[in-house]
Structure 1
Amino acid sequence: MSRHLFTTDFEINASTKMLYPYLSTASGLAQWMADDVTVDEDKVYNFIWDEEDHRARMVSHRTNHYVKFEFLPETDEENDDPAYFELRLEMNELTQSVFIKITDYSDMDDNDELYDLWYSLVDNLKETVGG
């Protein structure tokens, strides 16, 4: 199965320092992104959606700027092309607005459905942080 790259961004009225813990910690992510998120001693994050486990590693991050989670492969063919998502915080220097840029590389290939999904998740985040 081929993967699909989707990117979008949303303006959010909160500082990058305030937002970053919601993107990078299991407790922060659990408040807006998934039904629950845990992290084990091997630093593997377990995202639980609809009672299904989705295990991922934080493969890169920069404090107050971005995080990238790569899902652990479940089949041999996924080893060569793992699904991932990246959440990047960007500031427009001119307007001082903060944007969350989302990159989603997954099996979902319907851009409208992906946009609706991420819009809903970011809306949850905005409610959580008051932004």
Structure 2
Amino acid sequence: MSMKKFEGDFEIKASKKMLYPYISTASGLAQWFADDVNINEDKEFNFIYDGEDHPARMASHRLNQYVKFEFFEDEDEDGDVSYVELHLDENEITQSVYLKVVDFSDYEDDQEQYELWEDLVHSLKDIVGG
């Protein structure tokens, strides 16, 4: 199955500094992104959804800016690996902060994927009060 790129922007009323731990740490991600998230001594993340393990590594990050997770077991026939990038962008005019999601995976339905991310970000907003 081939991979597709999904992108979405979600406004969150919270500072980038406050949001960054929620997108970059196992404990922060476990609160809204997955059922649970663990990290091992090799700094490999394990995202748990519906009792299934999804091992990943933090491929890149920049403090208070973005993170990118690449998932080990999700590779298509072209050798592409699924990943999720979470960017914290600020509109300098309005001072609004946006979580930009880039999800490269084998998801089929764009509308269903948008609704999934909308629900996840809603959970994050509930946690941070944004």
Whether these two folds match at TM > 0.5 is yes
Decide whether aligned partners of structure 1 residues 110 and 95 sit closer, same or farther in structure 2, where only a CA change above 3 A counts. same
Encode CA deviations 1:53-106: one digit per residue, 9 max, x unaligned.
00000000000000000001356847x200000000000000000000000000
Paired with 1:75 and 1:64, the residues of 2 have a C-alpha distance of: 29
Q: Could you say which residue in structure 2 is the equivalent of 1:84? A: 83
Decide whether aligned partners of structure 1 residues 57 and 16 sit closer, same or farther in structure 2, where only a CA change above 3 A counts. same
Gaps of 5+ in 2: none
Gaps of 5+ in 1: none
Contact kept, 8 Å, 1:45 with 1:57, in 2: the verdict is yes
How many angstroms does 1:18 deviate by? 0.2
Q: Could you say which residue in structure 1 is the equivalent of 2:124? A: 125
Cα RMSD (Å): 1.3
Q: Could you say which residue in structure 2 is the equivalent of 1:22? A: 22
Q: TM-score, normalised by structure 1?
A: 0.95
Encode CA deviations 1:102-122: one digit per residue, 9 max, x unaligned.
000000021101100000000
Paired with 1:75 and 1:94, the residues of 2 have a C-alpha distance of: 40
* Deviation beyond 6 Å, 4+ runs, structure 1: none
Q: 2:109 corresponds to which letter in structure 1?
A: D
Paired with 1:13 and 1:75, the residues of 2 have a C-alpha distance of: 35
Q: Could you say which residue in structure 1 is the equivalent of 2:105? A: 106
Q: Could you say which residue in structure 2 is the equivalent of 1:8? A: 8
Aligned length: 130
